[in-house]
């Protein structure tokens, strides 16, 4: 793949799901069972977007992007589109964005901090996708 994909588009979602499945084995994901929604505000198109991921025993069970109603998840992380884009481009660490208030977390903060390294692994996979933001 050589073309840049529009960030959060259907094509980007397909590529992201493929790369997550190829790159992150259940062992690399510590056999995690959890779900997370990233809720993007102030998107370039004026709409609110989301990424929803559900892992079962470390395997990606569900991966969605979209607009409108966000699927219910164990963790919901909300922030501006540009903050998430910077994280995806590896320009900003997700835990730093949380600690500085650029992202807001709903869910168990203690568990979320324990899972931060797994979220970083996911973001590193996203960073490998040539994208237009």
In a domain, 132, yes or no: no
Q: What is the pLDDT of residue 115?
A: 83
Per-residue tokens: 4? 């840049």
Question: Which CATH number does the domain housing residue 104 bear?
Answer: 3.30.1050.10
Domain containing residue 55? 5-125
In a domain, 34, yes or no: yes
Q: Summarize pLDDT for 9-18 with one digit per residue, the tens.
A: 999 999 999 9
SS3 content of the chain, % helix, strand, coil (to 5): 35, 30, 35
In a domain, 130, yes or no: no
In a domain, 57, yes or no: yes
First-last CA distance in the chain = 17
Residue 119's Cβ-count burial label (10 Å; 0-12, 13-18, 19+) is buried
In a domain, 93, yes or no: yes
Q: Summarize pLDDT for 62-121 with one digit per residue, the tens.
A: 999 999 999 999 999 999 999 999 999 989 988 899 889 999 999 988 888 778 888 889
Q: What is the pLDDT of residue 101?
A: 96
pLDDT of 2 higher than 70: no
Q: What is the pLDDT of residue 37?
A: 96
In a domain, 83, yes or no: yes
pLDDT of 23 higher than 70: yes
CB of 26 closer than 8 Å to CB of 58: yes
Number of folded domains that form the chain: 1
Q: What is the pLDDT of residue 108?
A: 87
In a domain, 61, yes or no: yes
pTM for the whole structure: 0.91
11-31 mean pLDDT: 96
49-72 mean pLDDT: 97
């Amino acid at each position: 793949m050589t073309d840049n994909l529009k960030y959060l588009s259907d094509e980007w979602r397909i590529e992201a799901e493929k790369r997550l499945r190829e790159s992150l084995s259940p062992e690399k994901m510590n056999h995690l069972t959890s779900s997370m929604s990233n809720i993007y505000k102030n998107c370039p198109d004026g709409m609110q977007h989301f990424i929803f991921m559900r892992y079962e025993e470390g395997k990606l069970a569900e991966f969605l992007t979209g607009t409108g109603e966000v699927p219910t998840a164990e963790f919901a992380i909300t922030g501006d589109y540009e903050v998430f884009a910077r994280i995806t481009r590896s320009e900003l660490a997700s835990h730093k964005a949380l600690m500085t208030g650029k992202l807001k977390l709903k869910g168990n903060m203690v568990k979320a901090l324990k899972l931060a390294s797994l979220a970083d692994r996911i973001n590193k996979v996203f960073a490998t996708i040539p994208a237009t933001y």
